[in-house]
Structure 1
Amino acid sequence: MSEPRIALLASPTEEAQAALSLLAARHGRHAPEDADVVVALGGDGFMLQTLHRHATAGKPVYGMKLGSVGFLMNHYHGDRLVERIAAAEPAVLRPLEMQAMTESGATVGSLAYNEVSLLRQTRQAAHIAIDLNGKPRLDELICDGVMVATPAGSTAYNFSAQGPILPLGSSIIALTPIAAFRPRRWRGALLKSATQVRFRVLDPYKRPVSATADSHEVRDVVEVTIRESEHLTVTLLFDPEHNLEERILSEQFVV
């Protein structure tokens, strides 16, 4: 069996760049659009950058941790890369599509593999209404913010905001408030992944709000619509002994 064509991408850290040089000398380098597989060297932030930049190429991505956070990454080893890729298990992720309308009337679109979050921009709490599939569900949420998280992203910001961890492949997304003041007892909701979520900022001039899809921030939004992408998917590759489904399950039993 011939060696796959590998696109090697690395974060700018010294450690990741050293690994890039080592692996390039052993396996060569191909452009992502010409490769069979993309190898990302860095942390979770760099993995998300890689997915945003190269998801449309449709190539599976195998990450190795050379950064501060690596939930989406495999352990780094400089040898046996081809064998590890061949034995890796796929995890298919479907991102969220965000459409944000700003005070100026501009509409900005972006993708999120972890979460879309709305946050207050000033010291004053945000006032946000929530519609699901066009039907009002919460007339006014007073909060620091609110988010919609994917299963892959449910262990990140969502979990730190006391949101639930979602099993991979569950076809569920998490709607989670951030420091909610009212309604006091509302702790969020679990929604079918096909649900269209719309946030309406009720007092955008006095209480401005920003929207962030992973790391792409849009400020001064007045309305944000989120739904799972119907057409775009990405495939991450994981070593069998440390696959993403097992990691998500293990996170629920950390004491």
Structure 2
Amino acid sequence: MPVPKLHFVHSKADKASGAYTSLCNRYEQHTLEEADIIVALGGDGFLLETLHETRALGKPVFGMNRGSVGFLLNDYREQNLPQRIAAAVPVALKPLHMQARRTDGTVEEAVAINEVSLLRQTRQAAKLRIAVDGVERLGELICDGALVSTPAGSTAYNLSAHGPIIPLEAGILALTPISAFRPRRWRGALLPQDVTVTISVLEAAKRPVAAVADFTEVRDVVEVVVRQDSNWAPTVLFDPHHNLDERILKEQFSS
């Protein structure tokens, strides 16, 4: 089996830059264009940044944790890295596409690997209306915000907002309120992954709302349309004994 050509990237954290130097000294650093695999050194956020920034190349990313949580990352070890990567399990993620319309009528689009979230911009709670495939499901949600999460993102912001953890192959999305005030007992919904979710902002001038797709923020929105992105399926590599499906399963039994 040929040895994979590696390209290393790192976050700004000291331990990530130190790992980068050590790995470049130990293994050959290839250019992005000639590399087979991109090795990302940092935290979960940096891995997402790497996937977004290298989207056009379509190359798999093997992440090693040099950040904090590292849910989407493998353990950091320098030994036998090419062999370890050759044995890794590929996981194709299914991002979301966001189309956000502002109060001035302009429209911005973005892609999210984890989630698309709507958040109030001021001290006043947001008022949202939610439709699924064109059918109104919730006429008014008074809240700090709401989010639509992929399975890969279900253990991130979605979990912090008390949303469900979703296995990768479940074929569903989580629609989760953020600090819901009315209806107080609504905890969200699980939706088929091929639906279109439309969230309209009520009283947008009085209660401004921002929409965020991973790192792309659009302020003063009046309507956000979220659906699965059919043009991109980034591949992340995981050690066989600690793949993403296993992590998601273990997370559901953690205290």
TM bucket, shorter chain = over 0.9
Distance of 2:14 and 2:254 partners within structure 1? 32
CA gap of 1:20–1:111, structure 2 versus 1, over 3 A, is same
Distance of 2:30 and 2:121 partners within structure 1? 42
TM-score by length of 1: 0.97
Q: What's 1:27 paired with?
A: 27
Q: What's 1:46 paired with?
A: 46
What's the C-alpha RMSD, in Å, of the aligned pairs? 1.1
Question: CA offset at residue 7 of structure 1?
Answer: 1.4
Question: CA offset at residue 26 of structure 1?
Answer: 2.5
Question: CA offset at residue 25 of structure 1?
Answer: 2.2
Task: Tell me, yes or no, if the aligned pair for 1:32 and 1:59 is still in contact at 8 Å.
Answer: no
Greater Cα shift, 154-163 or 15-24: 15-24
Q: What's 1:187 paired with?
A: 187
Q: What's 1:232 paired with?
A: 232
Q: SS of the residue aligned with 1:109?
A: strand
**Identity across matched positions, percent:** 56
Q: What's 1:218 paired with?
A: 218
Question: CA offset at residue 56 of structure 1?
Answer: 2.6
TM-score by length of 2: 0.97
Letter in 2 for 1:150: T
Q: What's 1:208 paired with?
A: 208
Task: Tell me, yes or no, if the aligned pair for 2:3 and 2:83 is still in contact at 8 Å.
Answer: no
Any unmatched runs of 5+ in structure 1?
none
Q: Does 1:18 align with 2:28?
A: no
Question: CA offset at residue 215 of structure 1?
Answer: 2.1
Question: CA offset at residue 185 of structure 1?
Answer: 2.2
1:62-82: CA deviations, max 9, x gaps? 000001120000000111110
Q: What's 1:127 paired with?
A: 127
Task: Tell me, yes or no, if the aligned pair for 1:204 and 1:222 is still in contact at 8 Å.
Answer: yes
Distance of 1:133 and 1:162 partners within structure 2? 24
Aligned residues: 255
Distance of 2:36 and 2:166 partners within structure 1? 30
Task: Tell me, yes or no, if the aligned pair for 1:210 and 1:219 is still in contact at 8 Å.
Answer: yes
1:54-102: CA deviations, max 9, x gaps? 1231111100000112000000011111011011111110100111111
1:137-181: CA deviations, max 9, x gaps? 111111110000000110111011111000011110000001111
Letter in 1 for 2:46: F
